[in-house]
Structure 1
Amino acid sequence: MKRFYLFVAIAYLSGAAGLDATAQTTVRVGWCARTITTAAAPFAVAMKMGWYPRDGIKVELVPAAGTDCVKLVVTKIIPYALSPVEPLAIIRSQGVKARIFYTAYQGNIFGIAVPQSSTINKLADLKQKTIGVVAMSSTGALLARALAASAGLDPDRDISIVVAGEGAQTAALLRSGQIDALSQFDTQYALVENAGVKLRLLSSGEVEHFPSNGFLALEETLRTSHSQAIALARGYAKGTVFTLANPEAAIRILWEVYPETRPTGVDEATALREGMRTLQARMANLKLEKSGVSRWGESSEKSFSAYSDFMQRWGVTQVKVPANELITNDLIDEINNFSQDNIIAMAKAYKNK
């Protein structure tokens, strides 16, 4: 066993050596939220371990809320985005040829949350309530309307949707009673709890079983930058495997690569505890069993078809977009061309400096 870990360490060091000598292309990727959070751990790990440089790319995350993030891809300002499904379905129904080529979050990260002591117990109880979102262009805003409609409410008249910011700002608005509920996502809910407000998720019915964000690109980009798209997703897949195997190491690597993600004004133990809570909220949705797939990034056509039905039924899209127009698994075999066991061993053997 010692020999095996020694082999892993040597492989890592030899691979990392000389990375600066390799020409790297900066690849801008839309991070579909206003700020980079602990959920970016797989990217940070891929950078730190040298997997991206080894494939000749340097990843730059570009924060932008939901639909704005997708617009950056459509207008070719950036080539890729870690995008929610809903904005893709909207632009696809308008004729934009783009697809998710790697599903990152096999479980649904979105949903409606309320303070633990709230009298709101089901979606129908949101009538005449104010729901806070990260931004009006966020997926949370789209989903709040769809979920309200699915509960028999009129989203134009029965609910109010307002911008509530993130983390501590959101928590303050909940404490003051200026908002009654949230339509954000898993890591944001963890940040709100870190700020002292305990939350409770309402049942979202079938939505809870749908996939969430994945790497999105124009079909043209997937044709002309095939190898680059594979390198981006493969590095992320490796980072995901590492993160699931050793989340504490992943958080410390994240702090090194993205120092702005480290909690401020608290001691090391508290920062780590808060970081772990936020990361664990996302880890549950990274696991393959959430969608019943067997390969990293694989998209379940059945799950996407069911989600497309939901979006059309409750007004997110005017028509149902076929699942095969939302996703492609054409790159998945090449993306998964690495040893998962070696990555797990490397993660477990990793020691932070």
Structure 2
Amino acid sequence: MTMTRVSRKVLQGGAVLMFTSLLAACGGSGGDGGDQQVSMTLATPTWNAGIASIAVSQEMGYFEDEGLDVEIILADSATTQVQQIATGQVATGAVSPEPVILGREPGKNLDLTYFMSYYKDNIYGLRVPADSDITSIEDLEGKTVGAISLASASVTQAQVGLREAGVPEDSVTFVAIGTGGQQATAVENGQVDALALLDTSFQVLENQGIELREIEVPGTDMLTSGGLAARTGDLEEDRELYVKLGRAIAKGVVFSEANPEAAVQLLFDAHPEARPSGLDDDVALSSSVSVLEARLANLGAEDDPYGVIDQEALQANVDFLLDAGELTEPVDPADLYDDSLIQDINDFDRAAVRQEAADHA
């Protein structure tokens, strides 16, 4: 588990970091300015342009404006995220629906509730090289499909799509091809015939000159890729905390949509490791902006109010998991989402944030 400090304060020493994490998990107060210390989790191995809006919320002081000192914990999967939230290690996280829904099955007792959208639309998909003779999901029979990992939601979606299309699942081989350059190598060397990845990964490959073509996956049109989730009891007990978190995150998304170049530069300043290596500054910036824009297209950045989760989309996710055989009993989507915070989360001047973005050098 990678832990990245996302405040202007720098902590030294493992004992201090551990103490801070424990305080953050329960929303403890502290810090030089008396800000409330909170932690949240994102499912990504490293900082990258796809999550630049979160860096914006920190660097532009949107968390601090809400009296929050936020620590971001980078997790390896949504399953890890829900474990962190459920055990109180973190207050919230941007989590995909699968583990949240499955946690509501009888006997699971994983009582997590969404209070805001983040990945409004489906960020996963299936693509093939532009010159491939594969034109539909049916053509994948006997082929090899690459994914970041075999535990990725993109694999589940592709497998269910194959079943819906009448293609025997065991006739298609799924292989893990990692991230970044590993993915490009797998395509260029012909190791895979298709890719089951996410929006930002596809854009990174396009930036490297690999032209891709989308293949429709049956049953995925209506899916959402999730949002900010928390323990249901915590939402009830500390509503103000989650409103503040949601508002700061919403401001970061609005800023990023208004000026993605500034958002990426703020990301690079805070997390230099997010800058693509081996590229001139202008190229690194433009390629990362295209990655951010690919993600913004799925965040509902222009929605007003921002952060609403469509009940029909959650129902589609429930139905999808039922079709996949991963969910044994239906789950009521109304139990998965509390929309009572949305109005207060959106209680900020969007025009002012957009102007701040436009004025940012």
Considering the TM-score relative to the shorter chain, is it more than 0.5?
yes
Distance in 2 (alpha carbons) for counterparts of 1:136 and 1:308: 21
Matched, 1:203 2:216: yes
Following superposition of structure 1 onto structure 2, how do residues 1-353 of structure 1 map, counting pairs within 5 Å?
22-63=33-74, 64-93=76-105, 94-155=108-169, 157-287=170-300, 294-351=304-361
Aligned 8 A contact 2:158 2:217 in 1: no
SS of 2:229's equivalent in the other structure is strand
**Amino-acid identity (%):** 30
SS of 2:278's equivalent in the other structure is coil
Q: CA deviation at 1:165?
A: 0.6
Superposed CA RMSD: 2.0
Aligned 8 A contact 1:146 1:314 in 2: yes
Q: CA deviation at 1:313?
A: 2.2
Question: What one-letter code is carried by the residue in structure 2 that aligns with 1:30?
Answer: T
Aligned 8 A contact 2:305 2:342 in 1: yes
Aligned 8 A contact 2:146 2:174 in 1: yes
Distance in 2 (alpha carbons) for counterparts of 1:29 and 1:141: 26
Counterpart position of 1:7: none
Aligned 8 A contact 1:167 1:195 in 2: no
Question: What one-letter code is carried by the residue in structure 1 that aligns with 2:121?
Answer: G
Distance in 2 (alpha carbons) for counterparts of 1:141 and 1:57: 37
Unaligned runs of 5+ in 2: 1-30
Aligned 8 A contact 1:132 1:183 in 2: yes
Counterpart position of 1:17: none
Q: CA deviation at 1:339?
A: 0.9
Query: C-alpha offsets along residues 81-127 of structure 1, whole Å, 9 cap, x if unaligned?
Result: 21111222122223311111111122211111222222221112222
Question: What one-letter code is carried by the residue in structure 2 that aligns with 1:169?
Answer: Q
SS of 1:35's equivalent in the other structure is coil
Distance in 2 (alpha carbons) for counterparts of 1:78 and 1:214: 15
Distance in 1 (alpha carbons) for counterparts of 2:350 and 2:334: 28
Q: CA deviation at 1:72?
A: 2.4
SS of 2:167's equivalent in the other structure is coil
Distance in 2 (alpha carbons) for counterparts of 1:70 and 1:131: 27
SS of 2:192's equivalent in the other structure is coil
Q: CA deviation at 1:54?
A: 2.2
SS of 2:163's equivalent in the other structure is helix
Counterpart position of 2:19: none
Question: Alpha carbons of 1:132 and 1:24: their partners in 2 closer, same or farther (altered >3 Å)?
Answer: farther
Distance in 2 (alpha carbons) for counterparts of 1:304 and 1:288: 19
Query: C-alpha offsets along residues 45-84 of structure 1, whole Å, 9 cap, x if unaligned?
Result: 1111111012222222222223333232233332212111
SS of 2:131's equivalent in the other structure is coil
SS of 1:31's equivalent in the other structure is strand
Q: CA deviation at 1:21?
A: 5.0
Question: Alpha carbons of 1:34 and 1:140: their partners in 2 closer, same or farther (altered >3 Å)?
Answer: farther
Question: What one-letter code is carried by the residue in structure 2 that aligns with 1:87?
Answer: P
TM-score, structure 1 as length reference: 0.87
SS of 1:241's equivalent in the other structure is helix
Aligned 8 A contact 1:133 1:163 in 2: yes
Counterpart position of 1:9: none
Q: CA deviation at 1:143?
A: 1.8
Distance in 1 (alpha carbons) for counterparts of 2:321 and 2:160: 7
Distance in 2 (alpha carbons) for counterparts of 1:211 and 1:136: 20
Deviates more, 1:33-42 or 1:270-279: 33-42
Unaligned runs of 5+ in 1: 1-19
Q: CA deviation at 1:161?
A: 2.0
Distance in 2 (alpha carbons) for counterparts of 1:121 and 1:270: 32
